[in-house]
Structure 1
Amino acid sequence: VSRRDHPGFRDLMWDLVYQLRLSELERARVIFRWMTSKDMRRLQFASAERGSPEAFLTNYRRGTFARVYELLCSFAGLSCVTLSGYAKGVEYRPGCRFREQPHNHSWNAISIDGAWQLVDVHWAMRYLSSERNSPENLVYEYDDFYFMTEPQQA
């Protein structure tokens, strides 16, 4: 599904989750894998009216992977929320304090069969190859660790 363009959001959701009878876990996984294998910067639809899901998806900006995942999950009938907080990225040094700083990351909690699970689409699709936070150091590679990560390991 990620290799194709879809004329509209409805077509995308049909191909992702409604064409087959999928469980909650399967719907959450399919959306996760679609996002981690799709170049979100090149996503386009035949039209994208203001306020539509198509407009939201095509106006993707860095840092909104969690919001996109939440939107897709909501249209797939899944309970999902975006969480904001702190991540120990390349700039983190042991002993750094987070309290006075603005949140620097977001991820999702999704309810699957009544249990809340953690999902981080952003970190599942890419990582930095060095300590320098720049586009040329971004490596796009899937990491399944970030789907339903145990909270103590997140």
Structure 2
Amino acid sequence: KVRSLFRWLTVKNLNKMIFKEQLTEDSPYYFLKGIKYGLESYHELFKRLCSYAGLSVKIIRGISKSAGYKPGMPFKDSKFSNSWASVLIDGDWHFVDCHWGARHVNNTEDYSDPEKFCYSLDEFYFLTNPEDMIYMHYPDEPEWQLLEDPLSVETFVELPVVKSHFFWYGL
């Protein structure tokens, strides 16, 4: 179920999707339209869909080394605030980041323009290993690092800035 929902959300190129003007508020397409125009988030829609499927999901809030982040930058304001999901499967929590799994920002300083998003599925963000996720995402609550020995935010800042390809190539 989790895999199906992740794939359904992440393989859609919202730049190419045209939505009807009138969509009912209980339609998944209503929420996809909201994501396209910045009114909804991937993780909230993922949580909603998982709830309909009888799955437990927790939205994790924290900071991330997202577009515009440079190595060693402090996290002073909300610019790098982020959210992602953790889903309960067979008694264990696993990370799922549908947003990062669906799209990334092209090299630009204007992150508000939806046309700057490049849609391409990145499987790395499905059931991501906590040991890898911590390089990019730092939760507000240390227990949601899902690590045996949680890191301090200072250690998180000192970690290199890497993305999924670093791990895909075993670097």
TM above 0.5: yes
1:1-12 superposed matches below 5 A: none
Which is worse superposed, 65-74 or 31-40? 31-40
Q: CA deviation at 1:39?
A: 4.5
Match of 2:26 in 1: 53
Q: Provide the rounded CA distance (Å) in 2 between the counterparts of 1:85 and 1:140.
A: 24
Q: Deviations over 1:2-45 (max 9, x none)?
A: xxxxxxxxxxxxxxxxxxxxxxxxx0000000001234564569
Higher relative contact order (CA 8 A, sep 6+): 2
Seen in structure 2, the aligned counterparts of structure 1 residues 45 and 90 have a Cα distance that, compared at 3 Å, is closer
Q: Provide the rounded CA distance (Å) in 1 between the counterparts of 2:123 and 2:26.
A: 26
Q: Provide the rounded CA distance (Å) in 1 between the counterparts of 2:23 and 2:132.
A: 41
- Equivalent residue of 1:109, what SS? strand
Seen in structure 2, the aligned counterparts of structure 1 residues 59 and 38 have a Cα distance that, compared at 3 Å, is closer
Are the counterparts in 2 of residues 118 and 149 from structure 1 also a CA contact under 8 Å? yes
Match of 1:101 in 2: 77
Q: Deviations over 1:38-90 (max 9, x none)?
A: 34564569851xxx533862662436100000000000000001111111112
Figure out how many residues of one structure are paired with residues of the other and give that number. Answer: 124
Q: CA deviation at 1:133?
A: 4.0
Aligned residue among 71, 77, 92 for 2:54: 77
Is residue 117 of structure 2 the alignment partner of residue 138 of structure 1? yes
Aligned-residue sequence identity (percent) comes to 31
Q: Provide the rounded CA distance (Å) in 2 between the counterparts of 1:139 and 1:58.
A: 16
Q: What runs of 5+ residues in structure 2 fail to find an aligned partner?
A: 134-171
RMSD: 2.6
Which is worse superposed, 61-70 or 134-143? 134-143
Which is worse superposed, 122-131 or 73-82? 122-131
TM-score, with structure 2 as normaliser: 0.62
Question: Which letter does structure 2 place at the counterpart of 1:28?
Answer: V
